[in-house]
Amino acid sequence: MTVTFEPITEALAPDTIDSIILNALSEDVGLGDITSDAVIPANMTCRGKIVCKEEGVVAGMTVMQRVFQLVDERIQFDAKVKDGEKVSADQVVARLYGPARGILKGERVGLNFLQHLSGIATVTSKFVKAVDGTKTKILDTRKTTPGLRSLEKYATRMGGAVNHRMGLWDAVLIKDTHLALAGSIGGALRSARKASSDDVEINVEVSNLQELEQALAEHAPRILLDNFSCGQVRDAMQIIRGRALVEVSGGVQANNARAYALAGADFISVGALTHSAKALDFSMKVTRY
């Protein structure tokens, strides 16, 4: 079997992110920015620049721009880079102009989104680079921050990964917890096929070679090798011999991802892309004008 899945690269539409941004602004601003309102004249304008303080991959420029638009539509936001681009330390990624109170009000929420999403894109890009030149695709998971899944999975796309399972509704993944209750891989697969339409992807997780044999006997189209070592993956690939697409998950780091790719995996899914990514450092500087 060949891998046909490709990354989705389109930007986020405003209507998919406005509710998230408005919730964040409500959390941070509340009834108002009492400091800025006290010390900054209402008619003061300023210019600002957003600076990246370390190397990485940017994600969240579109989100940050929307933050300032929702705070005050008079704020002009001039992005100097696009989501998915690599940036270096001390690089200016955006300039903005407009009402000073509004710029200060949106600063922290905008930076929080930019730092978090760029951190995800940056760590994702390291995994993608590690498997460059192989057939293997890097997948994200559902191990996301509650309420931020659409943004975080957007960030993994900007880092070069492929989105996998936006939720429980878009694919079947029979895991060990299902098997503990369903009783057998064969029974679970047959039930899944009976309940699913032809266009629903069906995956089954296996934790050893015995379960792998059972999944293959039931013609599982896609198999997830959970917590297999590289050597075990190679052994599994000798058994599978092209009869199913193969995903590997568990224990994969950026420094060993290529070994798993060369062992034969079609996909490597990595929860750490979203649940453990370190924020990329950005700051904003402002001057009056």
Paired tokens of 169: 């509704």
Ramachandran angles phi, psi of 282, nearest 5°: -130, 155
The verdict on whether 108 is a catalytic residue reads yes
Amino acid letter, residue 135: K
The verdict on whether 175 is a catalytic residue reads yes
Catalytic entry in 47, 95, 175, 193: 175
Catalytic entry in 205, 211, 247, 266: 205
d(CA 157, CA 164): 11
Q: Where would I find the beta strands (DSSP E) of 101-194?
A: 137-139, 172-174
User: Cα dihedral sign for 74, 79, 84, 86?
Assistant: negative
Report whether 204 contacts 188 (CB < 8 A): yes
Catalytic entry in 140, 226, 247, 266: 226
The verdict on whether 218 is a catalytic residue reads no
| Burial status of residue 90 (CB atoms within 10 A of its CB: 0-12, 13-18, 19 or more) | exposed
Q: Cβ neighbours of residue 179 under 8 Å, at least 6 residues apart? A: 185, 188
Catalytic entry in 143, 193, 234, 243: 143
User: Cα dihedral sign for 81, 83, 87, 89?
Assistant: positive
58 Rama class: left (phi>0) / alpha (psi -120 to 50) / beta: beta
As a whole number of Å, the CA-based R_g of the chain is 23
Catalytic entry in 53, 108, 234, 243: 108
The verdict on whether 73 is a catalytic residue reads no
Active site residues: 108, 143, 175, 205, 226
